[in-house]
Amino acid sequence: MEKKGDRLRRTIQYILARNIQNIRIMPVNFDWFLTEIFDENQFDEIILNFPDPWPKKKHRKNRSLNPGFLGKIHFLLKQNGLFRFATDYGPYARRCIFYFRKETRFKNPDKEYSFSRHDFPVSRFEREKTEQGCRIYFLERRKS
């Protein structure tokens, strides 16, 4: 799901050039879309990769991941379904860890976060950030 036209266009060009078949793109704002369209307990896995960090304090309310969003993720995931989150912005990662500590709807993980993610495709954004020397925070939680 992506709401910006230029990013959609680039992604579609990439997919066509490589004839990638197992992907669907939705030009939507996922803030309203998720729970309006899907029924509950539908997804084995939900991935939120590098959402906009909104570093300024007055803009923090725009961040995708907040307790309300975790409620939507919980609604959409099957039992034991996996939520994966990645960010290169440390304060955002710490805030998410804080939210999860207060959550009873997700299981406590072995590790609260990690700096690497194995057996998982690296997105363009992740590659660029890694090449710039940014530290990437990966969080994973399963629905209780």
Positions annotated as catalytic residues are 52
Which residue type, as a one-letter code, is found at position 12? I
User: How many CB atoms sit inside 10 A of residue 15's CB?
Assistant: 13
3 near ligand SAM, rule: CB under 6 A = yes
137-142 β-sheet, strand order: 43-49, 77-87, 137-142
Nearer to ligand SAM, 49 or 114 (CB): 49
Nearer to ligand SAM, 4 or 101 (CB): 4
84 near ligand SAM, rule: CB under 6 A = no
d(CA 104, CA 56) in angstroms, rounded, equals 29
Find the distance separating the first CA and the last CA of the chain, reported in whole Å.
26
User: Contact region for ligand SAM (CB under 6 A) — 2-10, 14-22, 65-73, 77-85?
Assistant: 2-10
Total residues contacting ligand SAM (rule CB under 6 A)? 17
Residue 114 burial by CB count (10 A; 0-12/13-18/19+): exposed, middle or buried? middle
125 near ligand SAM, rule: CB under 6 A = yes
- Would you tell me which residues interact with ligand SAM (CB under 6 A)? 1-4, 7, 29-31, 49-52, 64, 123-126
